[in-house]
Amino acid sequence: MSSDIQTKFDFIKANTSKINEVDFENLTFGNVFTDYMLVCDFKNGAWEKPVIKPYEPFTLDPSAKVFHYGQAIFEGMKAYKDENDDVWMFRPYENFSRFNKSAVRLCMPEVPEYVFIDGLKELINLEKSWVKKGKGNSLYIRPFMIAIGSGVIAQPSTQYRFCVILSPAKSYYSGDVKVLIADYYSRAANGGIGAAKAAGNYSGQFYPTKLANEQGFQQVIWTDDATHTKLEEAGTMNVFFRINDTLYTAPTSDRILDGVTRKSLIDLAKREGIAVEVRSVLVDELVEAAKNGSLKEIFGAGTAAVVSPISGFQYKDEYIELPKIENSFSAHLKEKMTNIQYKIEEDTFGWTVKV
């Protein structure tokens, strides 16, 4: 570590590394973690000195507020290794900014930039050997913050823990993704926390998703909770619709997450000469477009898979399969995006940040 960093971060060395026990060819997502984590606690109204230390369990009182009131937020990001063995993060300032927006909405303290951004750089730099070269290989980065203060009164905690853990990841083929359009369950309320990456937004999706799984669908496309007529997100991803040669995606709102992949795809599509309209797409409009043949593609957009093509959708009693398509926008955009992420093509946007 540089001396500048040593003054900002404490460091506790691990005695051993787990890296030789890991089968990098057969990784399941999010189960293997690297040797180190970054931890920074907030107490007495201030952030303590962050520490990079061996990955180890947390010890928390049973009354810790994260267990009772869900004061917990996170981010999902990735780092990629180029052919020169340099490691690059993708738009980390976007995640940093969104993390602190989530913090404000959940009544948690904002994390300082040096803790989040410099902390990420230091931690990932230390764990460079966990990032493998080659498209598809990446390091999944999980910054998160939890309320660790004790006491079962329903009030914001006074103590918090910010932590970053890292997990090596491989690209995976998700198979045919069929989705169910929600006509009863919802993800987020107007004036709620849907735009925050808050822990509570995710657990609420598990049961409706399980019901969809049981009917043979891999994901749910969420609709607005008031009318169930507007298409909003796909599972835990933003969603794009291609009708004729225009891409549509819903505007962000307090119900819809301001996804980094979503906003990057919008910019990339425009650069590639693809028309993009940011507006709500109605369920009826989608069904009609599917029936008259103008609906060409649907895909989810998120950090994990960049784009996830959707092969068909069920709405109420009707299942509509999308036609197979050549020269799909989703495949083209994924190719271009990953070329930027892996430094294969020039990053004209300035999105990549070297570790």
**The binder of a second copy chosen from 111, 115, 146, 257 (CB under 8 A):** 146
Our finding on whether 140 is near a second copy (CB under 8 A) is yes
Q: What separation, in Å, do the N-terminal and C-terminal C-alpha atoms of the chain show?
A: 13
**The binder of a second copy chosen from 2, 3, 20, 59 (CB under 8 A):** 59
Closer Cβ to a second copy, 295 or 314, answer by number:
314
**Cα angle 200-206-207, degrees, rounded to a multiple of 5:** 115
**The binder of a second copy chosen from 52, 120, 188, 234 (CB under 8 A):** 188
The interface region with a second copy, picked from 56-64, 242-250, 272-280, 285-293 by CB under 8 A, is 56-64
Our finding on whether 62 is near a second copy (CB under 8 A) is yes
Our finding on whether 156 is near a second copy (CB under 8 A) is yes
| CA pair distance 17, 35, nearest whole angstrom | 6
Our finding on whether 2 is near a second copy (CB under 8 A) is no
List binders of a second copy among 83-112 (CB under 8 A). 104-107
Our finding on whether 131 is near a second copy (CB under 8 A) is no
Query: How many CA atoms, within 13 angstroms, populate the side-chain half-sphere of residue 185?
Result: 21
| CA pair distance 67, 58, nearest whole angstrom | 13
Q: Which tokens go with 67?
A: 């267990």
- Contact pattern for a second copy over residues 308 through 347, marking x by CB under 8 A: ----------------------------------------
Q: Is 92 helix (H, G, I), strand (E, B) or coil?
A: helix
**Are the beta carbons of 91 and 264 closer than 8 angstroms?**
yes
Q: Which tokens go with 274?
A: 């693809």
* Residues listed for the chain: 355
Our finding on whether 12 is near a second copy (CB under 8 A) is no
Minimum distance, C-beta of residue 60 to a second copy, in the bound complex (Å): 6
Which residues pair with residue 277 across a beta bridge? 248
Our finding on whether 154 is near a second copy (CB under 8 A) is yes
**Cβ neighbours around 149 below 10 Å, total:** 20
Which residues pair with residue 233 across a beta bridge? 222, 238
Closer Cβ to a second copy, 173 or 206, answer by number:
206
Tell me the residue type at 59.
T
Our finding on whether 193 is near a second copy (CB under 8 A) is yes
**Cβ neighbours around 334 below 10 Å, total:** 20
Contacts with a second copy by CB under 8 A lie at 28-31, 33, 37, 55-63, 66-72, 74, 104-107, 140, 142, 144, 146-147, 150-156, 163, 165, 167, 182, 184-193, 198-208, 210, 225-228, 236
